[in-house]
Amino acid sequence: MSIASIALPRILRIGGGASRQLPDVLATLGLSRPLIVTDAFLVGQGRVETLRDSLKAAGIASRVFDGTVPDPTLASIEAGLAFLREGDHDCVVGFGGGSPLDSAKAIAMLARHGGAMADYKAPHVQDEPGLPVIAIPTTAGTGSEATRVTVITDETTDEKMMCPGLAYLPVAALVDYELTFTKPRRLTADTGIDSLTHAIEAYVSKRASPFTDGMALLAMRAIAPNLRRACDDPDDREAREALMLGATQAGIAFTNASVALVHGMSRPIGAHFHVPHGLSNAMLLPTVTAWSAPAALARYAECARAMGVADAREGDQGAVARLLEELGALNRDLGVPGPAAWGIDAVHWQRLIPTMCEQAIASGSPANNPRVPDAVEMAELYARVWDA
């Protein structure tokens, strides 16, 4: 029997208002000098001030770095690290979507180990910890609050670098769906499909285990019936709560099983064409699932059942057909554009396909897919996604 190697945050607080427990969680961990890493939008919303006020009330002084950017870059990480070094901090609190959380992880690691982020990209694995990270997600998407990876873009080469290792696993995550009511429809859709993709890919991954299967199926059950609901009614508490829980469960699933072909092919699209992460996943998900499904029919069928789109009595072939219909319908209902409709130039796309294939394969994620494409097949998939 093979051994599943599972890693989780030491503390998870989950539920409405969980973010208000930050002072208590810091005290539990013996930490008292936090740097809050976030973005300017969330500061503008007054969210960060509320967080700082709760810290102040507990006698904890904090500083705020709000210079993170969507898809964090080497320069933004350097700026954050320089800011941290101007103060005296014993931990980093990431507050925001995947971009601030990944920035917090990278800054906290470099604070202790130095060097440049490019030194830490895969295949390097950074297990030795940096400063402790406490993650407070606000997008219900990436699951970064529970993952042992940070994704940093090298803006000089447009490469989205996967940097893996236990150093990036937050010691605590405060998962508070009340932070997500302000998400606009597009962000709700993109981040929701991101987490659904994590769950599906973790479930079909060659590295899946019974533990990650359980988390992935729970995530699909939580996300699938609630995604359209939250997009149609941003104040739907039940839907928001389910999406936030599902995103964290999906994060736990994929970080302990791995993502696969969709994510492998998605990162280069994000890096070269600046398509938001969830959106590039959504562009790929139906086409890549259709191509991969014959290699793991029973697994994809189970995804359809967990998502509630296939009946328990329906055979695998039929259930997979339902899954493919649903992924197409979801993209239509949530207004997911294809690459052309999103504004990508056809010639530019065509020219970058070989580079994107090379970067996708180098990331290692496609090798975990139930059906592994060679570079020629992957190029065909990129072409098919353009036409889809």
**Interface with ligand NAD (CB under 6 A):** 39, 41-42, 70-71, 96-100, 102, 138-139, 141-144, 147, 149-151, 179-180, 182-183, 187, 191, 194, 277-278
159 vs 194, beta carbon nearer ligand NAD: 194
Least gap, CB of 163 to ligand NAD (angstroms): 9
User: Of 87, 77, 79, 86, which Cα lies nearest the Cα of 109?
Assistant: 77
Report the alpha-carbon angle 282-141-286, nearest 5: 20
Nearest to 182 by CA among 96, 249, 107, 101: 96
Question: Rg of the Cα trace of the chain?
Answer: 20
The nearer residue to ligand NAD, 179 or 319, going by C-beta atoms, is 179
Give yes or no for a contact between 89 and 31, defined as CB atoms under 8 angstroms apart. no
102 or 302: CB nearest ligand NAD: 102
Residue 171 · residue 11 · CB < 8 Å:
yes
Closest distance between ligand NAD and the C-beta of residue 142, in Å?
Answer: 4
Task: Report the residue number, 21 or 147, with the smaller CB distance to ligand NAD.
Answer: 147
Shortest Cβ 39–ligand NAD spacing (Å): 5
Min dist CB 324 to ligand NAD, Å, is: 24
Q: How far is the CB of 83 from ligand NAD (least distance, A)?
A: 18
Closest CA to 65 of 29, 111, 23, 22: 111
- Provide CB contacts within 8 A for 359, sequence distance 6+: 159, 160, 267, 268, 271
DSSP 231-281: HH-TT-HHHHHHHHHHHHHHHHHHHHH---HHHHHHHHHHHHH---HHHHH
Other CB atoms closer than 10 Å to residue 312's CB: what's the count?
6
Minimal distance, residue 106 CB to ligand NAD, in Å: 10
Backbone angles phi, psi at 66, to 5 degrees: -110, 25
Token look-up 């599972």 returns: 6
Closest CA to 170 of 252, 230, 282: 252
- Three-state SS for 88? coil
Residue 277 or 322: the one with the smaller Cβ distance to ligand NAD is: 277
Nearer to ligand NAD, 280 or 305 (CB): 280
Least Å distance between CB 184 and ligand NAD? 6
Task: State which residue, 102 or 316, has the beta carbon closest to ligand NAD.
Answer: 102
Which residue number, 187 or 227, has a Cβ lying nearer to ligand NAD?
Answer: 187
Ramachandran sector of residue 343 (left: φ over 0; alpha: ψ -120 to 50; beta: rest): left
The nearer residue to ligand NAD, 71 or 326, going by C-beta atoms, is 71
Any idea what DSSP says for residue 1?
-
CB of 86 to ligand NAD, least distance (A): 24
DSSP element (H, E) containing 351: helix 346-363
**Shortest approach of ligand NAD to residue 37 CB, angstroms?**
11
Type of residue numbered 272:
H
